[in-house]
Amino acid sequence: MTATDLPAVNAALNATSTVLLLAGFLFIKTQHKVAHRNCMAGAFLVSCVFLTTYVLHKFLVHGVHTPFGGAGHWKTFYYILLATHVILAMGIVPLILITMTHAVKARYEKHRAWARWTLPLWLYVSVTGVLVYFMLYKWFPKT
């Protein structure tokens, strides 16, 4: 695997996290608590692997950012999407840790209250991570 492979790996990890988060949500809504726990733990693990490979990619490319090849409204859309993705990606880490800590310590009311905010933000970060990948590398590559 090379540095050029890592963005696709990262997009796949984000997509996997999205699927696990949605499955975990459906499981808790149907009172399948063990399946919910397993999906959420899986989403956390996949997100940790993502963070590791993201940092590795930045290290391997010496922090160089991939330029966006789109123009006009697409460029505006991309940079708004990217900005919200990056800001929320930085903020989601403590939210995930707080939410998971409440679950592990069996403080389920607090867990549920935090999860109402954490889940949609985590989903947004995961989905927009995939969109950023497609916009940069598949739909609007800089030529």
* 47 burial level (CB within 10 Å; 0-12, 13-18, 19+): buried
- The whole-angstrom separation of Cα 125 and Cα 131 is 10
Give the tens place of pLDDT for each residue, 55-102: 999 898 887 788 999 999 999 999 999 999 999 999 999 999 999 999
Q: What rounded mean pLDDT belongs to the chain?
A: 95
pLDDT at 63: 77
Which of 5 and 81 is assigned the larger pLDDT? 81
Does residue 3 carry a pLDDT above 80? no
Distance CA 24, CA 37 (A): 7
CB 98 within 8 A of CB 114: yes
> What confidence score (pLDDT) does residue 133 get?
97
32 by DSSP, 3-state: which? coil
For 6-33, what is the mean pLDDT? Answer: 97
Taking the CB of residue 113, how many other CB atoms lie within 10 A of it? 13
This prediction's pTM: 0.93
Stretch 95-113: mean pLDDT: 98
137: phi then psi, degrees, rounded to nearest 5: -110, -20
Could you tell me if 57 and 3 are in contact, meaning their C-beta atoms sit under 8 angstroms apart?
A: yes
Q: Could you give the percent of the chain with pLDDT greater than 70?
A: 100
**Percentage of the chain with pLDDT > 90?**
88
pLDDT above 90 (res 2):
no
